[in-house]
Amino acid sequence: MAKESGMGMSIAVDDSGGSARTISNDITSFNLSTPRGVQDITGLDKSAVERLLLLADGTVTLNGVFNDASNNSHDVFKTVSSSSVARTVTITVSGQALAMEMFFSDYALTRAASGELTWTATGALAGGAVPTWG
């Protein structure tokens, strides 16, 4: 087992037509979370907390630089506000891949005072499949 950096990662996101587009070159950072719900079931007869694991979830926030070239980030996310389709998000690092069906609820553009044009896209798990690294 070797420790590694996150350099050389790959992220692909389906466009609204269902075609996977590798947009890693446009992405500058991301956040990924795969939490599980937890229910407290502690009875009065216990001296410590007792819990059950509940449903799995997944969220992703992608941050990047605006690129409106064909099949790049703007092409992928420009239909977020007008289409209601689940998109496959595949994150790959060091041969390990996590693919999740996600609904994107926001594609936000920001133009800073310095002139840079960046975006943020947020996705949440859809379809009920447990996020599993493979």
SS3 of the chain: the string is: CCCCCCCCCEEEEECCCCCEEECHHHEEEEEEECCEEEEECCCCCCCCCCEEEEEECCEEEEEEECCCCCCCHHHHHCCCCCCCCCEEEEEEECCEEEEEEEEEEEEEEEECCCCCEEEEEEEEECCCCCCCEC
Q: What is the pLDDT of residue 60?
A: 98
Report mean pLDDT in 10-residue bins for the chain, 134 residues. Answer: 87 97 98 98 98 98 98 98 96 96 98 98 96 95
The architecture (CATH level 2) of 10-125 comes to Beta Barrel (2.40)
Q: Where are the domains of the chain?
A: 10-125
